[in-house]
Amino acid sequence: QQQVKQSPQSLIVQKGGISIINCAYENTAFDYFPWYQQFPGKGPALLIAIRPDVSEKKEGRFTISFNKSAKQFSLHIMDSQPGDSATYFCAASMRSGGGADGLTFGKGTHLIIQP
Amino acid sequence: ETGVTQSPTHLIKTRGQQVTLRCSSQSGHNTVSWYQQALGQGPQFIFQYYREEENGRGNFPPRFSGLQFPNYSSELNVNALELDDSALYLCASSPATGGANYGYTFGSGTRLTVV
């Protein structure tokens, strides 16, 4: 059972455009939603995260939008740059589990920013 | 401040063999988690170690086992290797037992190929 569904699988955006990646979750016990960025040959790196008590969080060019009733959240990358080209993973976890249940990741989105 | 280091970077094993992967956590981090990332997929949680004990486990069989040492470094052991065990194995450290909820620091991984 895939508990976090991510789309699209791949995305091509022109430099300066907005990149949007969407995720949907099934388990209503999830209450922490991070996004990780992974470059080839490297491990994932935490980009930004949100908890369900807020509907939006912004850090620089990166924004998470969260819709608790729809069980969906999305990552927006404003003014996308070629250096943003990477694979992006959404994830979810349960604070009630103390984090010991680990993160449940989506399958990833391969983002290419064209110059 | 050093990050998470993993060894070896690449490994080829024969089906049925046993393998040990190693991880040194980031300075100041006392919790280590292991993830399996198949090609083109998101990482999957194997288990978490805190205070030298396993305190969380994903949906992996008992032939996946681990250790954590007093210096917080860790090992992942896989017995009776199967072809489907071929993947990138990621180690992640965090400053608290609720690692998933605080943001991991991932290593670059060990690429295991089972032939």
| Averaged pLDDT, A1-27 | 94
Phi, psi (degrees; rounded to nearest 5) at A82? -55, -30
Tens digits of residue pLDDT in A73-99: 999 999 999 999 999 999 998 866 555
What confidence tier does A60 reach under pLDDT thresholds 50, 70, 90?
A: very high
Check residue B98 and give its pLDDT. 65
Nearest to A32 among B101, B104, B106 (CB): B101
Q: How large a percentage of chain B has pLDDT more than 90?
A: 81
Give, as one character, the DSSP assignment of residue B26: P
Q: Is B85 within 8 Å of B112 (Cβ atoms)? A: yes
Closest-approach residue (CA) in chain B for A99: B98
User: Is B98 an interface residue toward A (CB < 8 Å)?
Assistant: yes
The answer to whether residue B11 scores a pLDDT higher than 90 is yes
Tell me the nearest-neighbour CA distance from A60 into chain B, angstroms: 18
User: Are B108 and A42 an interchain contact pair (Cβ–Cβ within 8 Å)?
Assistant: yes
> Between the CA of residue B79 and those of A2, B21, B51, B66, B110, what are the distances in Å?
26, 12, 24, 11, 16
Mutate to test the interface with B, among A103, A105, A109 (most CBs of B within 10 A): A103
User: Is A8 an interface residue toward B (CB < 8 Å)?
Assistant: no
B64: number of CA atoms within 13 Å, CB side?
17
What confidence tier does A100 reach under pLDDT thresholds 50, 70, 90?
A: confident
DSSP E strand stretches across chain A: 4-7, 10-14, 19-25, 33-38, 45-50, 56-59, 62-67, 72-77, 86-92, 104-105, 109-114
User: Is B54 an interface residue toward A (CB < 8 Å)?
Assistant: no
User: Are B56 and A101 an interchain contact pair (Cβ–Cβ within 8 Å)?
Assistant: yes
Tens digits of residue pLDDT in B45-70: 999 998 899 988 999 999 999 999 99
Check residue B99 and give its pLDDT. 66
Which residue(s) pair with A105 in the sheet?
Answer: A91
User: Is A53 an interface residue toward B (CB < 8 Å)?
Assistant: no
Check residue B28 and give its pLDDT. 86
